Amino acid sequence: MSAHTHTQPQPIGGVIFTRPVIILAAFAGLAGALIVWRFAAGLGATTALNDGYPWGLWIAFDVVTGTALSCGGYAVALLVYILNKGKYHPLIRPALVTSAFGYSIAGLSVMIDIGRPWLAYKLPLFWHWNLNSVLLEVALCIITYTIVLWLELSPAFLERAKSSSVSALRRLGEIGLPIARKSLLWLTAFGMLLPTMHQSALGSLLLLSGPRLNPLWSTTLLPLLFLLSCIAMGFGAVVIEGSLSALFLRRKPETDMLAGLGSAMRPLLVLYLGIRLIDLAVRGQLGALFAFDLYSVMALLEMALLVVALVLLASDAQRRDLGNLFRAAMLLILAGALYRFDTFLVAFSPGAHWAYFPNVTEILITAGLVAGEIAGYIILIKLFPIVAGAPRRALAHS
């Protein structure tokens, strides 16, 4: 019976507003103030964005990289529900929480980035839809997926409501929980379809910039490469989140599962690297890959990071060494983030006299949003049944 309770998610409990949470919230508050300024003064006065580089840090990081990092929920769901690896089930809820936060932040960033957000309410007006627009697909998919993610988490909230002292909440939990659990399968399937669509579409976005995109990145396979790499990044994020929360919350790390994720990543990485190289070869760009100019160095770096990650994950013993696994996961994420930055900012060249580097405001807003996300995660797992496994202290007693 005790084994059972170990795998049931439970609220962590404890003080909510600890010092780290307060510091993180302060960062988020600063970002909030800057966001107000951005809307009052316009994008020109507050950002380094320009007509050569109309998309900058907020799109390349918050949206394109951020949602890929938030593919943990997607990646683990594929493993558990499609590859039928039930043992990873305890990883799902925490991964879903990070995904839900990550996607919500991405949505928020978009609203800050676009120039006329007050018209965004027109996006669902289907009679206006331009079905040729990849961005429309991305936007609609991301909006829907964010809602789906929070709905997938609804059992956690309803479970909590059920044990509430307020009778109305209790009733809500009692009525809502069976419904939520029944619909979970259909939601989860939807939650796997949507990232498949929009994570690949994030790559397709740049097909339109093809004439101004460096050939090392400009390929019709962009959607496939973006899809594969987002799954790898999702696994990486789950490993990092799992190790960090074990560390900070003083819990026993789920070494078995995390090591298992490590081995699940390997075929994915090999596939990605293989496709990337074959594509370059077919398009006759291998020479450019080894030209050792800025572009070639960046592309080689992306691939080298993955190769090192593969080496770090080579043997079972290496994968069970948490520090080593953590480093490999970091490399994966770095490689994926670099691939996205390269595609959206480095490979994209609007002409010699244009330059872009994010300014302090952009960076502080992004940092503040991430800080808010982490604070939200901490608060959520303290209040709601998200994380499974017994605290280390309890374990020592038994």
Partner 1 sequence: MGISRRTALKAMAGATATSVATTLAPQESKAALVVPRPDALGMLYDSTRCIGCKACMVACNEANDLTPDTAASGGLWHMPVDLNEHAKNIIKLYRDTAKGEQSFVKRQCMHCLDPACVGACMLGALQKGDYGIVRYNPDLCIGCRYCEMGCPFNILKFEWSKAVPKMVKCELCRHRIAEGKGPACCEVCPVGAVIYGKRADLLAEAHRRIAERPDFYVQRVYGEHEVGGTQVLYLTHVDFEKLGLPAYGDDSVPERARSLQHTIYKGFIAPVALYGLLAAVMIRNRKSSGAAEEGES
Restricted to residues 290-309, the positions that interact with partner 1 (CB under 8 A) are none
**The pair of three-digit structure tokens given for residue 192, joined into one six-digit string:** 């796997």
> Which of these segments, 21-29, 51-59, 163-171, 287-295, binds partner 1 (CB under 8 A)?
51-59
Tokens found for residue 225: 């490469």
Q: How many residues bind partner 1 (CB under 8 A)?
A: 72
Residues 333 to 352 in contact with partner 1, rule: CB under 8 A: 348, 350-351
- The answer to the question of residue 317 lying near partner 1 (CB under 8 A) is no
C-beta closer to partner 1: residue 189 or 294: 189
- CA torsion 337-342-345-347 (nearest 10°) is -160
Please name every residue paired with 251 in a beta bridge, in sequence order, or none if there are none: 391
**What letter does residue 236 receive in the DSSP assignment?**
H
Nearer to partner 1, 141 or 374 (CB): 141
Alpha helices in the chain (DSSP H): 2-7, 19-41, 43-46, 57, 66-69, 72-77, 92-113, 134-152, 154-162, 167-204, 222-248, 255-282, 286-289, 294-312, 316-320, 322-341, 360-383, 392-397
Residues 83-142 that bind partner 1 (CB under 8 A): 83-84, 86, 89, 113-117, 119-120, 122-123, 125, 128-137, 139
Query: Residue 138 Cβ, how far from partner 1 at the closest point, in Å?
Result: 9
Q: Using the rule CB under 8 A, is 157 a contact of partner 1?
A: no
CB nearer to partner 1: pick between 181 and 250: 181
Among residues 193, 240, 237, 200, the alpha carbon closest in space to that of 82 is found at 193
| Least Å from the CB of residue 116 to partner 1 | 4
Q: At residue 348, what are phi and psi to the nearest 5 degrees?
A: -85, 115
Smallest separation (angstroms) from partner 1 to the CB of 114 = 5
CB 226 within 8 A of CB 203: yes
Q: Cβ distance 71 to 230 under 8 Å?
A: yes
Shortest distance, position 315 Cβ to partner 1, whole Å: 25
**3-class state of residue 251 by DSSP:** strand
212 vs 320 by CB, closer to partner 1: 212
Stretch that binds partner 1, among 80-88, 167-175, 247-255, 334-342 (CB under 8 A): 80-88
Is the Cβ–Cβ distance between 346 and 295 less than 8 Å? yes
> Binding to partner 1 (CB under 8 A): which residues in 183-242?
184-186, 188-190, 192-193, 196-197, 200, 204-212, 220-221, 223-224, 227
Residue 50 binds partner 1 (CB under 8 A):
yes
